[in-house]
Amino acid sequence: MSEAPSIVILTGAGISKESGLDTFRDSDGIWAKVRIEDVATPEAFARNPSRVQEFYNARRAGLKDPKVVPNAAHEALARLEREWPGEVLLVTQNIDDLHERAGSKNLIHMHGELLKVRCEYCDALMRWEEPLSTSTPCPHCGRKSGMRPHVVWFGEMPIGMDAIYEKLDTCGLFVSIGTSGNVYPAAGFVQHVRYRGLAHSVELNLEPSQGATLFAEVILGPATEIVPAFVDRILTDGVPTAV
């Protein structure tokens, strides 16, 4: 039997919505309550670091809420990684840790991780679950005011891009789940895959994303319903050939 094709999966905030975490651009989303320019740019951090730290402290505390747990969609993707005979790479735009907690291992957080912080002076990167303030000393170099969330802000370079494009260039299936397709480079992954013409592409989302027409297949519905069913289909029928 020919080697099983590799699969690249991109996820966005929509996959964590049913776990109780807000998305960004839904009407009740994060950017309806706070401005990107005030909390998610390097300029915002330079201008008012406390405001930025408070924003991420609140989200870090929210993620530690015992009610926030992986949902059936996160669990289905972890099962696909375990049971699919080929490689499955999960690229997430999300900074929550729900994919890890569901058991996914081959995972790239291209926008960083809410439960990690780094020191801008010595580049130390560490797991961090407590509030962070501008006076928190770096445990490694001792200096203060350099500790920041390990989160990619607008205008900064996403993480793992070389590895991601390498896998997009060779995958047989690209799946996008729970993302509005508003933010590049993630929103451009489907064009990158279609350009090669060698992979099937599927969008699973509550509603059509900005890039829906670029996908060979679009499946609409809540992630906790459509993702487990899709994973069952792939494990049973295999990956459709690119159209």
CA–CA gap between residue 181 and residue 175 (Å, rounded): 13
Tokens of 180: 């509005």
Q: Which CB atom, from 6 or from 16, has the smaller least distance to ligand APR?
A: 16
Task: State yes or no: residue 37 binds ligand APR (CB under 6 A).
Answer: no
Task: State yes or no: residue 180 binds ligand APR (CB under 6 A).
Answer: yes
- Rule CB under 6 A: choose which of 115, 159, 206, 216 binds ligand APR: 206
> What is the smallest separation between the CB atom of 183 and ligand APR, expressed in angstroms?
4
Residue 217, strand partner residues: 202
Q: Which CB atom, from 170 or from 224, has the smaller least distance to ligand APR?
A: 224
Task: State yes or no: residue 12 binds ligand APR (CB under 6 A).
Answer: yes
Q: Which CB atom, from 72 or from 138, has the smaller least distance to ligand APR?
A: 72
Marked catalytic residue, from 74, 99, 109, 111 = 111
Residue ranges in 85-114 that form contacts with ligand APR under rule CB under 6 A: 93, 111
Reported residue count of the chain is 243
Residue nearest ligand APR (C-beta atom): 14
Task: State yes or no: residue 201 binds ligand APR (CB under 6 A).
Answer: no
Q: With beta carbons less than 8 A apart as the criterion, state whether 114 and 63 touch.
A: yes
| Cβ-proximal residues to 147 (8 Å cutoff; 6+ apart), any chain | 117, 118, 119, 120, 132, 136, 137, 138
> What is the smallest separation between the CB atom of 146 and ligand APR, expressed in angstroms?
22
Of 102, 113, 109, nearest to 80 by C-alpha is 102
Task: State yes or no: residue 23 binds ligand APR (CB under 6 A).
Answer: yes
**Strand order across the 200-205 sheet:** 107-109, 88-92, 7-11, 173-177, 200-205, 217-220
Task: State yes or no: residue 18 binds ligand APR (CB under 6 A).
Answer: yes
Residue 216, classified by CB atoms within 10 Å of its CB into exposed (0-12), middle (13-18) or buried (19+), is middle
Task: State yes or no: residue 183 binds ligand APR (CB under 6 A).
Answer: yes
For 27, the 3-state DSSP assignment is: coil
Instruction: Answer yes or no: 111 catalytic.
Output: yes
- Rule CB under 6 A: choose which of 7, 10, 14, 102 binds ligand APR: 14
Which sign, positive or negative, has the C-alpha torsion 51, 55, 60, 65? positive
* Contacts with ligand APR, residue ranges (CB under 6 A): 12-14, 17-18, 23-26, 29, 93, 111, 178-180, 182-183, 205-207, 209, 222-223
Active site positions, annotated: 111
